[in-house]
Amino acid sequence: MKARVLVLASIFVLVNLLIFSGGISLGGDSQRYLSGADNLLRGLPLQGRQLSYSGYALLIAFCRLTRVGLPGVVFIQLLFAAAAAVALYDIGRRLHGRVAGLFAAGLYVANPDIARWNAFILTDSLYISLVILSVWCVHTAALRKRYWYITAAAALCAAALVRPNGLFLLAVAVLYLVSRAIEHKSLRRVAVSALVLAFVLGAFAASRFFQGGSKDHPEATLRNGITGINEWRVPMPSDPAPVEGEGAAVFSYVARHPLASFRLGITRVFVELIHVRPFYSFRHNLVLLMSLPFLYLLALMGLKVQRDRSLTRLLLLAIGSQLFVVAITFADSDGRFLLYVLPLVCLFSSCGVASLIDLYLLRRKSEVKREVRVVAGQ
């Protein structure tokens, strides 16, 4: 077991060393977080969309205040990534044993598409880790209770402060804990249904936080289809009728064009899941088309054999909540939104791999016994 952990740690270090050979990188949204940190250090309030990512601006401000600067931000992102790998192992172990845990952690630490964000001054690396840690803390709190509720609340609040998508994890945690707390099936169904309805209505009402910095009216965003991928634009019904209020605009447009809006949401999720992009190289797209469908197939197999049904529901809720954000907003042009849930999907893929290994070992054991009986009979 120690050797396997050492191998995983070595892969994690090697992949990140290769990633960091190019140094610390800035992305398109980095200036928003850097200027937000400047405001905090000057005693000024955060402005505009900086408020939606206040946790990350606070992290940068803290690192500047302690004189570790941007390298300190990256070091913290690496620490959280390492902790997330440990959490993935533990979740996989609970789902289908140690083999599933090792595969889940391995798929995470060896994925360069995830690791490359560790070198960026962007929220993505930290948020990917916080999604994993939040799920692990919530499930652990449901089992052990006591101070674990505080730990889970801290992880969830951190996720919500780093990215507004984290608000959906808060809703998932409430749904999960309420469903476990209410023993009567009818009451549980009513409570969960009410929470889901409030969750959906609140999501549309707060849709202005999830427009990726776009100044477009939400109704216009709906019409624009898949933001950032002009080659795959989805035609939407033209509807020039003015509507007061952002939330009202979304509700009104969806109510007038439910089928078109549903088709758009499904298309956005599909585009995010396939992960290929028209501006990627042929080799890049080929690798994605060869690997992701295989992982998804293994995940479907893993869903049938996992052992902890309660944990499975939590994982599916977490995955669904993040894909719901994609459905009501946009499929990101560089595919980062898929990475928020891919480690959770790979947990089920790992269960599928572990079940295939168990099946092989069982058949091999049966063959050995058969051979022994044959030899004994002779």
CA 33 to chain centre: 21
Is pLDDT of 217 > 60?
no
Contacts of 174 (CB under 8 A, 6+ apart): 195
Once rounded to an integer, what is the mean pLDDT over residues 20-45?
Answer: 90
Is pLDDT of 209 > 90?
no
Average pLDDT, the chain: 83
The confidence score (pLDDT) of residue 218 equals 44
Once rounded to an integer, what is the mean pLDDT over residues 109-138?
Answer: 95
pLDDT digits (tens, 9 = 90+) for 46-60: 888 888 899 999 999
Tell me the C-alpha distance between 125 and 120, whole Å.
8
Is pLDDT of 36 > 90?
yes
The domain of 176 spans: 2-377
Report, in angstroms and rounded to the nearest whole number, the Rg of the chain calculated over CA atoms.
23
Share of the chain above pLDDT 90, in %: 42
The confidence score (pLDDT) of residue 214 equals 43
Is pLDDT of 69 > 70?
yes
CA 372 to chain centre: 49
The confidence score (pLDDT) of residue 315 equals 94
Is pLDDT of 244 > 60?
no
Number of domains in the chain: 1
Is pLDDT of 158 > 80?
yes
The first and second tokens of residue 222, run together, are: 């709906």
Tell me the C-alpha distance between 303 and 350, whole Å.
10
pLDDT digits (tens, 9 = 90+) for 273-318: 998 888 888 898 898 899 999 999 999 999 887 776 889 989 999 9
Nearest Cα neighbor of 180 from 194, 169, 191, 196 is 191
Is pLDDT of 219 > 50?
no
Tell me the C-alpha distance between 169 and 67, whole Å.
32
The first and second tokens of residue 350, run together, are: 């790992």
